[in-house]
Structure 1
């Protein structure tokens, strides 16, 4: 058994991407990968690093994706904060080997002196150990139940994570959104583009007359933030379910259309 943790650079960008690949690769997922690849290269060339890949027996098995908060135009853009966007180890044979812990420990070592805080939104996938519990064991503290931070200075961080994965905020229905569909995705994860594409196809089946806009939230930050950071709006109503919950999603979309 051999475990290796490597920083991501231009020679192993594809290894980071491959960790998240689903069993079936669709054209929409490929498009999401193109978007993520371009973003990774931009982050590397602008800021110098985007995280780590964990290898198990020489194969990429896990990823830890990071970026400076100031790089995200939809965020609070704090200079001293590094966002831990995602940590993922999907392969059974590579789990419980300490790979994820090793990646975070390497990150802490690398970020010390360069940033004052690490911050993450510990969203739950229903798999493995709770992300919140995992980060707490490594010295992260709570801002809220799912928002956690690591302080190099021991100062408290009170403002929460503000990135795409945070999910929708309070949104007041606006006349300009009536009769339209807005779908937002972001460049750090191919699945956000895939979900947006699938959602678009379902809406076209239900209500082909509606105007549909698919937008990269990082490229259209004002559009995204002004709509309460909700990933999808139908007829001015935020949609909370995902297209993978097909019937629930269709019902929610149909209710929004009739509202």
Structure 2
């Protein structure tokens, strides 16, 4: 479809020039979620051709509040690339982002492949090597975050960068449903959350992803990082801001934005 390449190129250009574009759903009111995933795959194909590597996946819209906000009843997903990685406690240059927001999540690192369509949360836990605290920096190439579900899907689920922290923890050593999170910005607590906030249990999110990807014949692979969804609302980031997330039993992860 001609518009698939056109929209992918628009998003790539917006990212390069750091100038937001009009929502794709405004440009084409008949733009569907299926169309949007086709744009995302075209976008990723371009980045792979530039030499980037897929290192995992991210799950978005896992909370009921965010689903209601966009009028949807299921999450979405995007691809994680090696150029998105930011070291724990290091600085991210603000000229690499546009209108960033910060979320705290639990990251799963897999030791076995997972492929739907019938993956369960138990399958996920058995296939997980370890878990870590993570910060995801989401961003939008759509001007002023004026997005619908299709817009964020096409824009690689509004992904930008991510940070992994703490030490590897065995998934069977913690109660992921009850695990608590505190997100701080410049030393002040701005958000708290709990594992049950994401589809009842973070492993449910990863199972959803494995089953959704089966529609595209894509497996989750051993060694991949899976960001399982924000444990609370995203917080806007400005130049000079320092964010840290502490997740019970998993430790702390932090990032600062250049001023």
Q: Compute the TM-score of the two structures, normalised by the length of structure 1.
A: 0.24
Greater strand percent: which structure? 2
Using CA pairs under 8 Å that are at least 6 residues apart, name the structure with larger relative contact order, 1 or 2: 2
